[in-house]
Amino acid sequence: MSLNARPSGAQKRKAKNIRLAETNKLRGSLDKFCKISKTTQYVNTEAALRVCWTLNKHQKPFTYSEIIKECMLEVATALFEEKKDIINAIQNIPLSARSNTKRTELLADDNKNNLIHILQMAPCYAIAIDESCDIVDSEQMSIFVRFLDVESKVFRDELLALLPLKCKIRGEDLFKTFDDFMTKSNISYDKIVSISTDGAPAIIGKEKGFVKRIKDKNAEILSYQCIIHQTSLCSKLSTTLKEIMDIMIKLINFLRFRSALQHRQLKDFLFECDSVYSDLLQHNNIRWLSKGKVIERFWSIKEEVITFLVNLDSQESKQYHKFLTNESNMLSVTFLKDILTYLNVLNTELQGHNKLICDLISSVSAFRRKLKIFEEDIKNQDFIHFATILEYKKNSDIDCSMFLSFLSDLGEEFGKRLKDFAEIGKLSQFLKNPFEVSPTGEWIDVATKLFRLPKSSLQMEIIDLQEDISLQMNKTSSTEDF
């Protein structure tokens, strides 16, 4: 056959089969290599990261990882007969504390970069700022952000940053720390629509406060004091009720912390009495729900505590015993137990994910109306809403002036501190059912005032929304989804 002769069909098929066989051979080698690589590297790394995740979730140090490996080896030895490969695989998992720390930091940086990237694409976002001390008294600023993820089309609430504060805690210091983070992360002030704070003077100061300096960057930003924080400030005790609560806290601290021996004796005594609880709760000012839970736990084991104080037979225990056997004092405690329970329920309703502002305002408005019912209930001495008082009271009539005064002051505090949210509450009808509101209703005046929107454009947009057929088809979905 000449050099210029074309290959026959059989020769072409043979060459094609050879190339296919070589390709399959290379592919098999590649799959084998990938499989080996995945087994020896990726799987071990994944296993190590899963251990890191579990330790982080339970807030345990990474030094526990070696203990976890030891436990896995012991379990494998006990459960599997053919254990050589399993033990070798477990031993190959890199679980040193230093490696786990480095991997967690890398993952944290990656998550942070992804969050900032998504945030940069968002059309707007709201932030919340909280400045407080951690467990070792280090000042820090927590920055939370809520925004629409344009890629997944869902609202997200995220912890954006936790910034250490190594300087004085003044408005300019807080702003400098925040501004450095915003600049470094390339996040725009122009997209911030609102900011919520804890109401500290350094944050809300009119001249040099943190919020004032942010508004110098974007004057259109709306600022609010956290609605949960404000409700907690409204419920601060005063005068006699505060004195009663302070004595209760001192009593509990006396029983729990006077000495380790006395605390053990109290727990042993409660156990012997078959009490519903084995110990008293400690009060913590940082946890807003603490007071109500402390009083509730105490009241459940009050009789056992009184008996225990008698057995102690010390001067201090006699004073506390006298306090607990005073009918007037105990009536105040019963009132505190009932009213703090209601406040705890409100506080819990205001927390959690997927809560919209209209939901929060509805809860607060409902509670303010309940206060009126509580006042009438106490005035008439029916106590249908104060079961603990009704159960304890020994006389037919009791002096309720102090309770009525507290409820009255509480109602006034809610009205004063939550005045801004009361205005926003007028928008609740629009937020909950935008298809039923009138374009000329009161809500539109509130919206134009609070959010500085042109009334004419807003009226035209709401009409377009109400007549949009595709939107009408989705109006049965939740408010947030809509």
pLDDT in tens, 284-301: 665 556 788 889 999 999
Which amino acid, residue 354? Answer: N
pLDDT reported for residue 4: 47
Which amino acid, residue 91? Answer: Q
DSSP single-letter state for residue 40: I
Most confident stretch, 282-286, 334-338, 446-450 = 334-338
Range in 77-86, 89-98, 108-117, 131-140 with the lowest mean pLDDT: 131-140
pLDDT tens figures, 163-195: 888 777 788 888 888 999 999 999 889 999 889
How many angstroms separate the CA atoms of 237 and 332, rounded? 12
- Helix (H) or strand (E) holding 112, with range, is helix 97-121
Measured between alpha carbons, how far is residue 350 from residues 249, 291, 344, 438 in Å? Answer: 26, 18, 10, 29
Whether the CB-CB separation of 294 and 206 falls below 8 Å is answered with no
Bigger pLDDT: 200 vs 403: 403
How many angstroms separate the CA atoms of 49 and 362, rounded? 43
* 44's tokens: 């071990």
Residue 88: which residues within 8 A CB-CB, separation 6 or more? none
Which amino acid, residue 87? Answer: I
List the beta strands (DSSP E) in 30-153. 125-133, 139-149
Q: Where are the alpha helices (DSSP H) in 313-454?
A: 315-324, 327-349, 357-379, 387-392, 401-417, 419-425, 428-432, 442-450
How many angstroms separate the CA atoms of 263 and 43, rounded? 49
Averaged pLDDT for residues 258-277: 89
Q: How confident is the model at residue 16 (pLDDT cuts 50, 70, 90)?
A: low
Q: How many CB atoms lie within 10 A of CB 384?
A: 9
Whether the CB-CB separation of 125 and 143 falls below 8 Å is answered with no
- The full length of the chain comes to 482
Q: How many CB atoms lie within 10 A of CB 237?
A: 17
**pTM tops 0.75, yes or no:** no
For all residues of the chain together, what is the average pLDDT?
A: 82
Whether the CB-CB separation of 306 and 323 falls below 8 Å is answered with no
pLDDT tens figures, 223-241: 888 888 888 778 888 788 9
Task: Please name which of 481, 430, 402 lies closest in space to residue 152, comparing C-alpha atoms.
Answer: 481
In the predicted structure, residue 30 carries a pLDDT above the cut 60: no
Q: Which residues pair with 140 in a beta bridge?
A: 132, 164
Bigger pLDDT: 248 vs 171: 248
Handedness of CA 81, 82, 83, 86 (dihedral sign): negative
Averaged pLDDT for residues 338-365: 86
How many angstroms separate the CA atoms of 225 and 243, rounded? 28
DSSP single-letter state for residue 387: H
Averaged pLDDT for residues 443-454: 82
Task: Please name which of 160, 166, 167, 172 lies closest in space to residue 130, comparing C-alpha atoms.
Answer: 160
